[in-house]
Amino acid sequence: MYQPIEAIIEDVKQETSSIKTFILRPKSNFSFQTGQFIELTVPGLGEAPFTPSSDPAIKDRLDVTIMNVGTVTSALHGMGKGLKVGIRGPFGKGYPLDNFKGKDVLIVGGGVGLAPLRSLLYSLFSDINKFNKVVLRYGARTPDDIVYKELIPEWAKKDKVDIATTVDMGNPSWTGNVGLVTTILKEAPVDLNNAAVIVCGPPIMMKFVTLKLIELGFKPADIYLSMEKNMSCGLGKCGHCRIGKYHACKDGPVFSYEQLKDIYDIWD
Amino acid sequence: METYFLEDNNIIEFYARVAKEYELYVPTRAPSSLKVKCEHSFILPAQDYLLKKFKDIDKKEIVFNGYRPIEPARSFFTRPKEEICEYFGRNENPPAEKPAAICGLKNCDLFSLKIQDFIFLGGDEPDRFYKARRENALIIAGDCPAFKESCFCRAFDIDPFVTEGFDFNLAPITGGYIIDVASDKARKLMPSLKSLLSSASSSQIGARELNRESVVKHLDEHLSYHKIPKKETLQKIVLGGYNSQIWTDEMRTCVECGGCIFMCDTCHCFLLYDEPNSKRKRVWDGCLYKNFMKVAGGANPLRMRYMRLRNRYLKKFDFFISNIGFQACCGCGRCIDVCPGRIDIRRILRRLHEEHKGAQNVPAH
Ligand code: SF4
Ligand code: SF4
Ligand code: FES
């Protein structure tokens, strides 16, 4: 339960200056549900939690999109093709796809938070008839910070899919929207009364997006948040990930805002 | 449950026979570094007890401990530091160990094991190390004929004598011990132990009851000075006191030594860490340490000391009450004894309660 299985880095893709996607081939098949997380081990250094960004239908490969922010991630960023890492999991409760059926699915992502949402998008696309529509609103700091630059236009071409991106700060070649992602939520073509909203991004972005959604009239029970905590064991034992009466690793990492709204300081 | 009498001069032989089957730990006297005097003029024992391996010690060292030993009961089931596995080689299996027989645990310890069980045996997957040790262990509990200044089990309606969760129980009376045989594991040892035991007379059992009543009475009197809130109010006062100044106030003297989390009978948190040779270790960890909840991106919900103290109380009195219906505090008082900053859980709870009463105008109990 605490021992990782071996996986080989098959390829590394540079997404932005500080974000890379690692394509991993586990030694044995590895299944996960979209939104569940794994613990990724850099041998001899330690583990850190990540949510895979690949299509859960693929069992022999796993993509993890990682920003260089800490000890484990910076070691990973120094690793290339052919090297060995460890994976453990999957852990926790992922996105409750069944609750999204027949609804307008609004997905709000910020920065590297689009990683778990990519796996969610793949799951939705593969069963698109079950959902009314999929609306993605994505914000990044600058145009260079946008991840999956060549995938987003592909997704936008799909039937029943509506995508808009925005950046906090533009640059001379950026012709798109400039402003926080909260500013492009109001126009999102979503029926308030028949919606599921999924939010993933840095804590501060999740906070303001959630407050904005509530202000727009979305119900707390229809808003789903991926909570970033300092997960370690993944099994509800090590205690590092408590939020109120929950262990995020076991009861989350995906929570409805209804579950969290009465807990103090959830955005800390 | 069967009840017998064990004479004083047979107890070492009793231990010796148990030790044939088990790695037996027995109570010994330990010099106490801290002599906490009762502020309410109760004359209370100040000595401490340590559990040591029976096979390693001079048998004269063995005593019957009047109250819980220094080490928390959980230290027999998860080690403060141990190797869990080596990747990608050696599997994660508990080391082959002679099962432990632990003599000298008290009712507060057994209450705490319910919390440890919930964490380590519950959930989607039980912890293999904990499970193996816990299932194989023999618990020889004991009544508390005395209590320490820091003992406050009765504040939460936990009695200083056991009622469940043990294999044998020893209760000292004149001339020996009343011994309860409470489980199949204990019964299995009976063929070898029987010759040491005689039947307990009703007056002997009566004597045990009198002892129990008298220690309860004495302890309740001691606790009446501390005004510790009832267990039914704990969750309310801790949540209600979320923004209280008390957390900051109380943490002024904390030196972040981690003593309280490591001595705690109910704390269960740990850290997995890897050595350069790919050995994975587990060490005890806890929320009084600054980086306990820090995420890689830098966010730290426990960045201030008051947040850490508050987190500890939220875990014990909100998380656990919500999840298992009772608080993760057994009143053993180990955190009080260990704290160099004299941070006292009894005082913090009392202050939270008083503040809550003041705010809500709730009558006292
Ligand atoms: S807290 Fe109670 S049960 Fe524990 S040692 Fe003290 S008197 Fe005994
Ligand atoms: S034992 Fe006292 S000083 Fe040490 S960490 Fe706990 S509260 Fe702080
Ligand atoms: S990651 Fe260990 S309890 Fe959640």
Q: What's the mean pLDDT when you consider all of chain B? A: 93
Considering the domain architecture, whether residues A101 and A197 belong to the same structural domain is answered as yes
Q: Number of structural domains, chain A?
A: 2
Residue among B235, B267, B313, B319 with most chain A CBs within 10 A, to mutate: B319
Considering the domain architecture, whether residues A101 and A66 belong to the same structural domain is answered as no
Say which ligand is closest to the CA of B219: 1
Residue B33's pLDDT band, with cuts at 50, 70 and 90, is: low
Structure confidence at residue B361 (pLDDT):
59
Tell me the mean pLDDT in the region B228-238: 96
Nearest CA in chain B to A48: B296
Q: Say how far residue A217 (Cα) sits from the centre of its chain.
A: 24
Count of CB pairs separated by less than 8 Å, A with B = 118
Is residue A266 predicted with pLDDT exceeding 60? yes
- Last residue of a domain, which of A91, A113, A136? A91
Structure confidence at residue A188 (pLDDT):
83
Structure confidence at residue B92 (pLDDT):
83
Q: Check CB contact of A242 with chain B, cutoff 8 Å.
A: yes
- Any alpha helices (H) in chain B, and if so which ranges? 11-21, 107-120, 128-136, 184-193, 202-224, 234-240, 246-250, 259-263, 305-314, 320-324, 334-338, 345-360
Q: What is the rounded CA–CA span in Å between residue B231 and residue B80?
A: 29
Return the structure tokens found at A101: 């059926």
Q: What is the rounded CA–CA span in Å between residue A57 and residue A50?
A: 18
Considering the domain architecture, whether residues A82 and A135 belong to the same structural domain is answered as no
Q: Indicate the pTM of the whole model.
A: 0.93
Structure confidence at residue B362 (pLDDT):
52
Considering the domain architecture, whether residues A221 and A159 belong to the same structural domain is answered as yes
Considering the domain architecture, whether residues A52 and A110 belong to the same structural domain is answered as no
Note the pLDDT tens digit of each residue in B100-134.
Answer: 999 999 999 999 999 999 999 998 899 999 999 99
Considering the domain architecture, whether residues A123 and A53 belong to the same structural domain is answered as no
Predicted complex ipTM: 0.91
Q: Maximum Cα–Cα distance for chain A, whole Å? A: 51
Note the pLDDT tens digit of each residue in A48-77.
Answer: 999 999 999 999 999 999 999 988 999 999
Residue B93's pLDDT band, with cuts at 50, 70 and 90, is: confident
Structure confidence at residue A131 (pLDDT):
95
Q: What is the rounded CA–CA span in Å between residue A87 and residue A241?
A: 19
Considering the domain architecture, whether residues A146 and A43 belong to the same structural domain is answered as no
Considering the domain architecture, whether residues A80 and A193 belong to the same structural domain is answered as no
Residue B364's pLDDT band, with cuts at 50, 70 and 90, is: very low
- Any alpha helices (H) in chain A, and if so which ranges? 71-77, 97-100, 114-125, 151-156, 203-216, 248-251, 257-260
Q: What is the rounded CA–CA span in Å between residue A147 and residue A140?
A: 8
Structure confidence at residue B43 (pLDDT):
76
Cβ count near A229 (within 10 Å): 21
Cα(B23) to ligand 3 centroid in Å equals 32
From A189's Cα to the closest Cα of chain B, the distance in A is 33
Considering the domain architecture, whether residues A105 and A191 belong to the same structural domain is answered as yes
Residues B118, B338 contacting (CB under 8 angstroms)? no
Q: From residue A100, give the alpha-carbon distance in Å to each of A119, A194, A215, A221, B13.
A: 15, 9, 21, 12, 68
Note the pLDDT tens digit of each residue in B291-347.
Answer: 999 988 788 999 999 999 999 999 999 999 999 999 999 999 999 999 999 999 999
Task: Tell me whether residue A198 is in a domain.
Answer: yes
Judged by CB atoms closer than 8 Å, whether chains meet at B276 and A44 is answered as: yes
Residue B40's pLDDT band, with cuts at 50, 70 and 90, is: confident
Cα(B255) to ligand 2 centroid in Å equals 6
Is residue B363 predicted with pLDDT exceeding 60? no
Note the pLDDT tens digit of each residue in B254-277.
Answer: 999 999 999 999 999 999 999 999
Residue A153's pLDDT band, with cuts at 50, 70 and 90, is: very high
Judged by CB atoms closer than 8 Å, whether chains meet at A245 and B318 is answered as: yes
Task: Tell me whether residue A259 is in a domain.
Answer: no
Residue with CA nearest ligand 2 atom 3? B254
Q: What is the rounded CA–CA span in Å between residue A14 and residue A64?
A: 12
Tell me the mean pLDDT in the region B173-189: 97
Note the pLDDT tens digit of each residue in A165-209.
Answer: 999 999 999 999 999 999 998 888 899 999 999 999 999 999 999
Q: Which domain holds residue A164?
A: 97-226
Judged by CB atoms closer than 8 Å, whether chains meet at A240 and B322 is answered as: no
Judged by CB atoms closer than 8 Å, whether chains meet at B123 and A265 is answered as: no
Indicate which atom in ligand 1 lies nearest the CA of residue B154.
2
Domain boundary assignment for chain B? 2-226, 232-360
Structure confidence at residue B365 (pLDDT):
45
Tell me the percentage of chain B whose pLDDT exceeds 70: 97
Q: Say how far residue B336 (Cα) sits from the centre of its chain.
A: 13
Judged by CB atoms closer than 8 Å, whether chains meet at B315 and A72 is answered as: no
